[in-house]
Chains A and B, each alone.
Chain A
Amino acid sequence: MVDSTTNSRSGLPDNVFLTTIDAAANWARSNSLWPMPFATACCGIELMATASSRFDLARFGAEVMRFSPRQCDLMIVAGRVAMKMLPVLQRIWLQMPEPKWCISMGACACTGGVFDTYAVVQGVDRFIPVDLYIPGCPPRPEQLIAALIEMQSKIMNTGTFDGREFAHRTQATGPVPLDLDEIRRAKEAALVEGLEIFQPPKLG
């Protein structure tokens, strides 16, 4: 400290500092993420554990779980999403104000997990944009905290004041529906000798 009142290089007082509006917005946003807990299964229990005192998500400024999408900016999809739930998920996502981010928590939300059945969506990233994936079945609270810190650094590094960084994401984050993997599934469901009931699904 050479001068106690003004900075000799910029000529500004010490209690004034210059930054970009992007950096200021990113700093504020990343340290006050308000999660929308879209908890549908056991991942939701881990999410609750993360939020409560032992793991204390409040240390990262993300303890304000809001059950209204209008007040949230971080959606945490925790658990499997059934066919009937997906329109609800999409609607909640659309109701969240900008800027917003999405964490897909656990194997089921990311890929459908073990529930490779007719009724379970095989990864929410096919239908809503996802920023971060957490593996695990269910993930430990530490993993969720690590993802949250990762989310904060992503916002710090790529965020912009007016959300310009979202504009180039014009494709689905996950595989395109009925893309190659569904055709692969159809081939897997090959005919079993002597059992005519296992017809592979007809595609297009």
Chain B
Amino acid sequence: MLNLQPLLDQFQATTSQFRDNVRVIVSADKAHSLLTTLKEQHGFDMLVDITAVDYLEYEGATDRFGVVYCVLSTETGERLVVKTHVNEPNPTLPTATNLWRGADWMEREVFDMFGITFAGHPDLRRILMPEEFTSYPLRKDYPLKGRGERHNFPVITRSES
């Protein structure tokens, strides 16, 4: 079992726990060095997921976005959730692709859905939505039914096709 306390002290992080789900909450500028330490010194060699949460108008929330990294040590089977917060305007985090190549598409997805950019990412394009899409659809201030993008296509009538 990983002893969290030195890590928490080193990175001024806090921790919380739900059942066996251990979370480390760290500030955005220290997130990358914490991830580096976790990978290189504590054997968290697999990045399971990167996702984000929009806390707009969430009760008690102080930051707009939470970015969540789930890491796994394949040797011990231990899991850890690293969470960090970013804010508008221009929410940016350093990329994790230099640690885990698998972060590539996950960061593209977070960028596509939330508009959080990852500095140093090799190819930060939209991955799910079309290239010409202009919004970030999983942000809470984006309407569920869109802003009419789904109707913005040429119409092919029978007489002309």
Most chain B beta-carbon neighbours within 10 Å: one of A119, A168, A169, A176 = A119
The chain A residue sitting closest to B161, CB to CB, is A94
| Given A90-B156, A166-B159, CB of A198 within 8 Å of CB of B143 | yes
- How far apart are the CA atoms of A70 and B56 in the complex, in Å? 50
Q: Does B122 contact A (CB under 8 A)?
A: no
* A117 near B153: Cβ-Cβ < 8 Å: no
Number of interface residues of A (CB under 8 A): 41
- How far apart are the CA atoms of A158 and B25 in the complex, in Å? 68
Contact of B57 among A166, A167, A182, A195 (CB under 8 A): A195
Interface string of B141-161 (1 = CB under 8 A from A): 111111111111111111111
Q: Does B140 contact A (CB under 8 A)?
A: yes
- How far apart are the CA atoms of A90 and B158 in the complex, in Å? 12
The chain B residue sitting closest to A167, CB to CB, is B159
* A177 near B151: Cβ-Cβ < 8 Å: yes
The chain B residue sitting closest to A85, CB to CB, is B130
Inside 8 A of B128's CB, which chain A residues have their CB?
84
Q: Which residues of B contact A (CB under 8 A)?
A: 56-57, 128-130, 133, 137, 140-161
* A126 near B151: Cβ-Cβ < 8 Å: yes
Inside 8 A of B140's CB, which chain A residues have their CB?
197
The chain B residue sitting closest to A91, CB to CB, is B156
* B156 near A178: Cβ-Cβ < 8 Å: no
- How far apart are the CA atoms of A84 and B128 in the complex, in Å? 9
Contact of B157 among A83, A121, A129, A185 (CB under 8 A): A129
Inside 8 A of A117's CB, which chain B residues have their CB?
144-146
Most chain B beta-carbon neighbours within 10 Å: one of A83, A90, A178, A196 = A83
